[in-house]
Amino acid sequence: MDTVIELKNVTYTYPLADEPSIKDMSIKIERGKFYGVIGENGAGKTTLCALIRGFAPSFYNGELKGEVLVEGKPTTEFGPGELSLKIGYVFQNPFTQISGVKDTLFEEVAYGLENFGVPVDEIEERVIEVMKMTDIYSLADKKPFELSGGQQQRAALASIIVLKPDILVIDEPTSQLDPEGTESVFKIIEQLKNEKKTIILVEHKVDMIAEYADEILVMKGGRLIRLGDKQEILTDMSLLDEGVQLPQMAILGERLIEAGIPLSRVPITERQAAEAIGQALQKARNS
Amino acid sequence: MWREKLQIHKSNWIAALHPSCKFLVVCLYSFCALLLASFKVGEGEYSLYTIAWFVIVPALAIGSGIIKRFWNAFTKVLLVAVVIIVVQSLLIPGGDTVAQLWILKVREEGLRSAIYLGFSVMNIAGIFVWFFQTTENKEISCALEDSGTNYKVTYVFISTLQMIEILGQNSKTIMNAQQARGVETQGNIVVRTRAFFASLVPLILGAITGTEERVLTLESKGFDVNCKKSRLFQIEKTGREKMVNTIAIAITVAIVGWRVALWIL
């Protein structure tokens, strides 16, 4: 197992907060895997992301107990900007991810590379490649603030992907997007998954998580209550009592089994549901 | 290919001057405007040279090929200047009556102050309008960085300029949202003022809330990295900057010399 991020007994409290937002959490994140983080509001998902990226405690201050290690080194020991090349971070609000100093989307995507002093020929090459990948190349000469929410979020992803980080922490990227925008963002995330990037995605749209993630982290009240294979976790109906949303297909599958339809397994995606129902119907016809 | 597309090529050589050259012209022009305003001419001791000096601003705008854009922006300055001139002329007593309309009297002291203040505002604001109408934000940013200004200062300067426009758009959105909720935003000045202040709270709070995420986004994009930064946009020089700087300095020296001579003689 190639561990890329490790939290060792981490407890973190924001300044002026009465109780910790993360409580005694220990996890190991494997390289090249896609982790979906789910849980109700206030469960500590965003704080977990901030800890992994090193924003907590370096930016937020607060009290950190335990250790957050990235490739074996504590996040507190990384120099300014050093983590930016290792971990890309995408926030939920597309508007605030625009630098505010660039006139065109092309320059906006190139901004990070300029900050790192990458030669201009290479910048041009990398920006074009990433803009094509994220399907925003046709908008290259538009003003960043004039784009739609979905386009801005794709631009935010492009601005981070262009830095070629191995790890991506993405915090609710589709919370302010329409279904079309959500789909386009997930298509990009799927491409990143195919490139074997390590992805940690916080998302309320659990149906999308079921489709794309490898492993699921379930959080509640600042604690990690479950971690493991998505099929196992997303079909555990007891999580509904913990306030955790489960995929609609899983709930449908469970109801069908309860109604006496013998599904081979509880599905978590549309494809799995179609397969399981098809098999059950075939079985019924044959008997 | 894209790098070439991002460059700014201006056909007019005055508009295309390097921002540092134009900024020197702006500073020297403003200094001379204030100096000329202290020249008292004729029996009334009015600052008449400052009126003549103002001819340069529209001449520069015409020469730079931006007279229409300049006029659109300058009308706001003109409005302020006209208010200053009218208020100063009518309210400051002292000296003989220069003109009278019904009960309104313009006295010498008022007119003197009106010309001094009104044309000082028009001269200084006018030259800055010319500068910003002929210089793009990224040219200013580039010139500042080339001059050795810290990139953090440059960022603050440029993002502030861009944010003015963004906050204006956000303000309209908030006003529309309030209107949709039944808050009166149209009508007389009192109603509009009330609606404006009511929109300030969400506008400012929204801007403050976004700041934290924007800072972290910058950090994610390596803003704080201590290395030599590269730049897609490169600023060009026309080759006439030296000549313009020399002329501007020569005119300033001549005016300063004239002023000193008048004090001595």
- DSSP code string of B96-139: -EEEEETTEEEEHHHHHHHHHHHHHHHHHHHHHHHHHHHS-HHH
Q: Could you tell me which residues are beta bridge partners of residue A219?
A: A224
Band (pLDDT 50/70/90 cuts) for residue B67 is very high
- Tell me which DSSP letter residue B16 carries: T
Angle at A125 between CA B218 and CA B147, to 5 degrees: 50
**In this complex, which of A99, A102, A123 lies closest to B230 when CB atoms are compared?**
A123
Closest chain A residue to B207, measured at CA: A96
Alpha helices (H) in chain A, listed in sequence order: 45-53, 55-58, 82-86, 105-115, 120-133, 149-161, 179-194, 206-212, 230-233, 238-241, 248-258, 270-286
Smallest Cα distance from A203 to chain B, Å: 18
Cβ-Cβ contacts under 8 Å, A117 against chain B? 225, 227-230
Task: Express each pLDDT in B76-109 by its tens digit.
Answer: 999 999 999 999 988 888 877 778 888 888 888 8
The verdict on a CB contact (< 8 Å) between A124 and B220 is no
The verdict on a CB contact (< 8 Å) between A93 and B210 is yes
Cβ pair B59, B70 in contact under 8 A: no
Residue B232: predicted pLDDT: 93
Q: Which helix (H) or strand (E) segment is A73 a member of?
A: strand A73-74
Nearest-angstrom CA–CA distance, B119 and B81: 7
The domain locations on chain B are 2-135+239-264, 142-220
Residue B20 clears pLDDT 90, i.e. is over it: yes
Cβ-Cβ contacts under 8 Å, B145 against chain A? none
Residue A57: is the preceding peptide bond cis (ω within 30°)? Answer: yes
User: For chain A, first and last CA: distance in Å?
Assistant: 45
- What is the residue-averaged pLDDT of chain A? 93
Burial class (CB in 10 A: 0-12, 13-18, 19+), B99: exposed
Band (pLDDT 50/70/90 cuts) for residue B257 is very high
Considering only CA atoms, which of A186, A122, A126 is closest in space to residue A154? A186
Band (pLDDT 50/70/90 cuts) for residue B180 is confident
Smallest Cα distance from A227 to chain B, Å: 27
Model confidence, pTM: 0.84
Task: Give the rounded percent of residues in chain A with a pLDDT score beyond 70.
Answer: 100
The domain locations on chain A are 3-101+159-234, 247-287
Nearest-angstrom CA–CA distance, B229 and B223: 10
**In this complex, which of A80, A89, A101 lies closest to B158 when CB atoms are compared?**
A101
User: Which region among A26-30, A101-105, A119-123, B162-166 has the lowest average model confidence (pLDDT)?
Assistant: B162-166
User: Which region among A208-222, B29-43, B118-132, B181-195 has the lowest average model confidence (pLDDT)?
Assistant: B181-195
Band (pLDDT 50/70/90 cuts) for residue B203 is confident
Task: Express each pLDDT in A229-240 by its tens digit.
Answer: 999 999 999 999
Residue A210: predicted pLDDT: 96
Nearest-angstrom CA–CA distance, B126 and B117: 14
Residue B168: predicted pLDDT: 83
User: Which region among A129-143, A184-198, B159-173, B247-261 has the lowest average model confidence (pLDDT)?
Assistant: B159-173
Q: Beta strands A215-220 and A34-38: pairing type?
A: parallel
Closest chain B residue to A140, measured at CA: B2
**Residue written as tokens 């801007």?**
B207
Considering only CA atoms, which of A99, A166, A189 is closest in space to residue B222? A99
Burial class (CB in 10 A: 0-12, 13-18, 19+), A215: middle
Residue B68: predicted pLDDT: 95
Residue B99: predicted pLDDT: 80
A229 backbone dihedrals φ, ψ, rounded to 5°: -60, 140
Cβ-Cβ contacts under 8 Å, A101 against chain B? 137, 141, 155, 158-159, 162
The verdict on a CB contact (< 8 Å) between B220 and A88 is yes
Identity of the amino acid at A59: F
Closest chain B residue to A165, measured at CA: B220
Residue A187: predicted pLDDT: 92
**Residue written as tokens 């977990």?**
A48
- Give, in order, the Cα–Cα distances in Å from B156 to each of A114, B141, B152: 17, 10, 6
Angle at A182 between CA A145 and CA A128, to 5 degrees: 55
Considering only CA atoms, which of B68, B231, B215 is closest in space to residue B152? B215
Cβ-Cβ contacts under 8 Å, A145 against chain B? 162, 166, 169
Considering only CA atoms, which of A33, A86, A2 is closest in space to residue A194? A33
Smallest Cα distance from B147 to chain A, Å: 18
The verdict on a CB contact (< 8 Å) between A101 and B219 is no
Task: Give the rounded percent of residues in chain B with a pLDDT score beyond 70.
Answer: 100
CB atoms within 10 A of CB A174: 25
Task: Express each pLDDT in A60-111 by its tens digit.
Answer: 999 999 999 999 999 999 987 889 999 999 998 888 899 988 989 999 999 9
A-B Cβ pairs (cutoff 8 Å, strict): 115
The top-level CATH class assigned to A3-101+159-234 is: alpha beta
Smallest Cα distance from A145 to chain B, Å: 8
